Every structure is written in C-alpha cells, then in structure tokens.
Amino acid sequence: MSTPVTAGTAVERPYEIVVGLEVHVELTTESKIFCSCPTRFGAEPNSQVCPVCLGLPGTLPVLNRRALEQAVRAALALNCRIQPVAKFDRKNYHYPDLVKGYQISQYDLPVGYEGWLEVGDPANPRRIRIRRVHLEEDTGKSLHDQAPGASVVDYNRSGIPLLEIVSEPDIRSAEEARDYLMHLRQVMLYTGVSDARMEEGSLRVDCNVSVRPRGSDVFGTITEIKNLNSFRSVVRAIEYEAQRQWEVLSAGGTLRRETRHWDERREVTVALRRKEEAHDYRYFPDPDLLPVPLPADWVEEIRASLPELPGARRRRYVLDLDLSVRDADTLVGDPGLAGYFEDLLAAGAEARAAASWVLTQVLAWLNAQGAGIDAFPVPPARLARLLRLVDEGTISMTAAKDVFEEMVRTGAEPDAVVEARGLRQISDQAALLEIVDRVLAANPQPVADYRAGRQQALGFLVGQVMKETRGRANPQLVNDLLRQRLSSDG
C-alpha cells in the first residue's frame, strides 16, 4: 500500500491515534510541600531555599497539610475516588537537580484514583478516564545556558508541591488531547489549586502516543514525548509522532518503546532514551513521613466546598441556556468573564443576549485595554439594565452600543444616557408612518425595483427611514410598515 506522506484529517487516516497524558501541575500553596520556604515564581535563583528543600544532611520533611488538601480538592474535581490515607514513597534516582537522590512521591496509593474528565460536545461528551492523581515534590531546575561549559541549578523550585495527573489511553486525536488539557486546566483554575501556566512551567505535559490500524483494539508500541511547552506544541507533536510511527509501521519497521524529545524549532520528535534502559526507581515507603489519614468527613467537607466545575457549567450553558458550544467554551475558559456573565444572569439579563454582549462588547473593551474583567468599569446590574432597554424595544441595538460606549467612558447609568441623548426608540406607528410615506415618495425608483421583485431594495428604504430618525426608529416596526405600504399601494 502507499504510504501517506502528509498528515491527513482524521477521516482520511488509515490509523487511529491513541494518547494518554501525564500532566504535572504545581499547586499554588504559600509554602513548599515539606518546608516553609515561599513558592513565588521568578524569584532570584536559589533565594527561596532552606536546609530542608536543599536536602542537607540531617534534615527531615514535614508535610504541608495545605498541599494535601489542595491535592484532594483537585482529585475530587476530577471525579476521583480518594484513598483513606495519604502515604508517601521515595522514588530513587540521581540527577543534579534532585537534592536528596530521591523524590518524595506517591507510588502504590495515589491520593486520587479512578476519576474522569468529559471532553467534546456537552450534549454528547466523551469521557476520558483518569488513572491516578498523586502528590509529590518538584525538583530544582538545571540551567545549561547560564555559564560557559557548565550547568548550574536553581533550587527555588525544589519542594514546590506538584500534582501528577495520569489519564488512561482514552484520547483519540491531537485535538482531543488539546481539549482534555484545556478542560483539565480549567478545573485547576476553578478549584484554585494551581494557576496552571504552561509558559511558566506550572502545568507540564508528557504525551504517551501510539497508533493502530482503524478498527483494531490492540494497543501499539508507545513512545513518550517530553519537552512540550504549549498546547499548540502538544497538538503538533502528537500529529507528527503518530504520522512518524505509522510510516515506520507501514514500511514494515518496528517501533521501540522510548522517550522522545519534541524539537520545538524543527517540529520533530527525536529519540532521547530507550525505555528498556530506564531507571529502576526502587520505590519504598518514606520512613520519614508517617501515613496521614484522610477522614471521610474531611473529604466530604472539601467536596461540598467545590465551586460549580467547568464541566457542569459548560453543560448548563449549552443545554439549559442554549448557548453555542463555542460561546460556552469561551466563557467557561475565563472564570472571571464567566463570573461576570453569571452576575448579568442574576441581575435578570436574558442568557443569549448577555453572552453575546460579554463576548463581543465587553471582551473587545478588555482586549483593547489589555485589562482583566476586574478592571471593567460597568457593574453587571447596570449592563443588565442596558440589555433590558434593548429587549423592551426602548432603544435600538445601534443606540445601545453608543450608550455602552458612554457607560464605559463615564460610568453613567444607561437610562440617563438614553434620556440625555434622546435615544429612545420611535415605536409610535403614526409618527413612523408619516416618515415612511415621505421616504417612499422621495424614492420612486427603489419602490419600483422592490415591486419588480428586487427584495434588496427594501433594505435601502429601511436605511432611509433610519437615517431620517437618526437611528431611533424601531427597525422591526419600520420593516413591517414598509412592507405593508408597498404591498397595499400596489
């Protein structure tokens, strides 16, 4: 058979992509997981360290209960079951950025297990299973470009609490992987456990990729891709790697179980090390940390304190409020914006109109200002009032946009602006008919065109009426009146 050289769409591909993701998320606790050092990002190298997180001889770890609580919170939000105890194990390996020669992690008893996350259309979602969620300490960071001929290490990151979230190999495309990551990130933001910034390394992704012929239910040989710096590189790397694997298999070759490095510049994956050569981590329970019980009532308290999660919110927006999936995604993806939208609803605004305003006018202003929703000057109740004026036909949409501009600029009440600028819409039939008749009389040609069947002539006539009224005419009413006159006077 011929080998496809370029990646086709999912439909044309003769193979299926199978992906499992390992995501590391840094928890936003005030202090590190086993000592009291601060966790601020971007501090002077090696300024946020102490004997414990430097692993000096004789030091001992003491668990930060807040990190454990955050881990349980995240695991619950990912629909996981929670272990009755938190047990920590040592993962033994040598690396210059690993201060103790082992990483404190969780091996056989991850704090959360058997969870799931829904992706895709809320009306017909796909459920990606989550195998485990476990808590561990982050390592320092090796820097290879700071000093000529030498590597240096910044240990500020050493001991930052880290959550590892491992999915089952349930993901079937690069787009779905991105979708999963987007949803996962939102869960972290909504639960407040992490700022999940891929560019700062507080969310890191490793992809396990394999391919198999369409229709097969046998898993292929997996390669693990590391060094993914953005959602985009995740998508590109999966696409590339799947195609590479398929080409090897199609040419009669065999794949090796290995770790591959994503070369961001060349957009290719490069073999890093064979999995067979991988470390034997010699996990064993950390004798310095006694298992910590996680009482069921404590877990339930955390569960009860969870906010509405992004999955539920998306479902509600699409299924109950009839928003488009796209609009729902945009809103849910920005908790601040979604919060403002919720406030509009609470103030009585109609959902679709509210969503439309938030995602066009409000968002445009924020983007222009480069500001967040916190800086938006119009309180939700006031914007809801403006929407009501449009809904009731008091002002036109065009007028409403002008009022909005002024509200943003001056902080004025919408009613005051409408009155001051005389924007109240003319919905008085008699008054409008007078203008309609004047416009018809002044434009015999378009009238003739319309009667000859050219519908677009109507638009011109509506425009003329609007012009006469300086935009204050109720456009629906103008339409109705024009049609009525043009057909009756035929």
Under rule CB under 8 A, which residues in 119-178 are in contact with other proteins? 151, 153
**In the complex, least distance from residue 336 CB atom to other proteins, rounded to whole angstroms:** 39
CA 406 to chain centre: 32
Under rule CB under 8 A, which residues in 287-326 are in contact with other proteins? 287-290
Name the residue nearer to other proteins (CB basis): 275 or 303. Answer: 275
Name the residue nearer to other proteins (CB basis): 91 or 185. Answer: 91
- Work out whether 284 is an interface residue with other proteins (CB under 8 A): yes
The piece of 20-28, 280-288, 329-337, 338-346 that touches other proteins (CB under 8 A) is 280-288
Name the residue nearer to other proteins (CB basis): 61 or 220. Answer: 61
- Work out whether 95 is an interface residue with other proteins (CB under 8 A): yes
Size of the site for other proteins (CB under 8 A): 30
- Work out whether 92 is an interface residue with other proteins (CB under 8 A): yes
The piece of 179-187, 213-221, 234-242, 285-293 that touches other proteins (CB under 8 A) is 285-293
The piece of 114-122, 225-233, 252-260, 286-294 that touches other proteins (CB under 8 A) is 286-294
- Work out whether 90 is an interface residue with other proteins (CB under 8 A): yes
- Work out whether 355 is an interface residue with other proteins (CB under 8 A): no
**In the complex, least distance from residue 340 CB atom to other proteins, rounded to whole angstroms:** 44
Of 12, 481, 14, 10, the residue nearest 246 (C-alpha): 14
User: Which three-class secondary structure string do you get for the chain?
Assistant: CCCCCCCCCCCCCCEEEEEEEEEEEECCCCECCCCCCECCCCCCCCCCCCCCCCCCCCCCCCCCHHHHHHHHHHHHHCCCEECCEECCEEEECCCCCCCCCEEEECCCCCCEEEEEEEECCCCCCEEEEEEEEEEEECCCEEEEEEECCEEEEECCCCCCEEEEEEECCCECCHHHHHHHHHHHHHHHHHHCCCCCCHHHCCEEEEEEEEEEECCCCCCCCCEEEEEECCHHHHHHHHHHHHHHHHHHHHCCCCCCCEEEEEECCCCEEEEEEEHHHCCCCCCEECCCCCCEECCHHHHHHHHHCCCCCHHHHHHHHHHHCCCCHHHHHHHHHCHHHHHHHHHHHHCCCCHHHHHHHHHHHHHHHHHHHCCCHHHCCCCHHHHHHHHHHHHCCCCCHHHHHHHHHHHHHHCCCHHHHHHHCCCCCECCHHHHHHHHHHHHHHCHHHHHHHHCCCCHHHHHHHHHHHHHCCCCECHHHHHHHHHHHHHHCC
Name the residue nearer to other proteins (CB basis): 104 or 238. Answer: 104
**Cα 122 from Cα 317, distance rounded (Å):** 9
**In the complex, least distance from residue 91 CB atom to other proteins, rounded to whole angstroms:** 10
Per-residue mark of binding to other proteins, 48-77 (x: CB under 8 A): ---x--xxxxxxxxxx--------------
Name the residue nearer to other proteins (CB basis): 61 or 446. Answer: 61
Name the residue nearer to other proteins (CB basis): 73 or 100. Answer: 100
Name the residue nearer to other proteins (CB basis): 94 or 265. Answer: 94
The piece of 209-217, 281-289, 354-362, 475-483 that touches other proteins (CB under 8 A) is 281-289
- Pick from 2, 94, 123, 266: which binds other proteins (CB under 8 A)? 94
- Work out whether 398 is an interface residue with other proteins (CB under 8 A): no
- Work out whether 410 is an interface residue with other proteins (CB under 8 A): no
**In the complex, least distance from residue 83 CB atom to other proteins, rounded to whole angstroms:** 18
- Work out whether 280 is an interface residue with other proteins (CB under 8 A): yes
Name the residue nearer to other proteins (CB basis): 55 or 122. Answer: 55
Question: Which residues here bind other proteins, judged by CB under 8 A?
Answer: 51, 54-63, 90, 92, 94-96, 99-102, 151, 153, 280, 282-284, 287-290
